[in-house]
């Protein structure tokens, strides 16, 4: 099986990490599906997004509405083939020291 074509996005988010991830998820959902993500402390997250090639431009515009995006200049064919978008997002408010709050357990 051939590897799907890949496109690369880079974004910068100036919100709190949790809110930024929620906005990104909502921006992606009309155009594609998030297949995987990886958090690197609270500064960077990477996404693997599956989308139809003809919708890559719409996905980019939707993401650009919720965060700053580096210019995307690759030519994308107007086809119904599925492609992968690999996206890295940097959170400006990150400290590099991600902590997970653990709720107190009664008893």
Determine phi and psi for 101, rounding to 5 degrees.
-75, 130
CA-wise closest residue to 17 among 37, 47, 46, 43: 43
Domain assignment of residue 103, yes or no: no
Query: Which residue range(s) make up the domain with 85?
Result: 6-91
Domain assignment of residue 87, yes or no: yes
Q: pTM here?
A: 0.84
Domains identified in the chain, total number:
1
Domain assignment of residue 106, yes or no: no
Domain assignment of residue 1, yes or no: no
Three state DSSP letters for 56-67? HHHHHHHHHCCC
Domain assignment of residue 102, yes or no: no
Give the β-pairing of 82-91 and 6-13: parallel
d(CA 21, CA 15): 9
Q: What is the pLDDT of residues 68-98, one digit of tens each?
A: 999 998 888 889 999 999 999 999 877 666 6
Residue 1: per-residue pLDDT = 59
Q: What is the pLDDT of residues 4-56, one digit of tens each?
A: 799 999 999 999 888 999 999 999 999 999 999 998 877 899 999 999 999 99
Residue 72: per-residue pLDDT = 92
Measure Cα distances from 105 to 12, 20, 30, 80 in Å. 36, 28, 38, 50
């Amino acid at each position: 099986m051939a590897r799907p074509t890949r496109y690369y996005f880079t974004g910068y988010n100036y919100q709190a990490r949790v809110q930024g991830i929620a906005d990104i998820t909502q921006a992606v959902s009309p155009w594609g599906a998030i297949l995987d993500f990886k958090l690197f402390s609270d500064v960077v997250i990477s996404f693997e997004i599956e989308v139809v090639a003809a919708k890559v431009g719409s996905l980019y515009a939707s993401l650009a509405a919720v965060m700053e995006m580096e210019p995307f200049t690759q030519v994308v064919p107007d086809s119904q083939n599925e492609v992968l978008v690999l996206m890295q997002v940097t959170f400006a408010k990150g400290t590099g020291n991600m902590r997970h709050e653990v709720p107190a357990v009664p008893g």
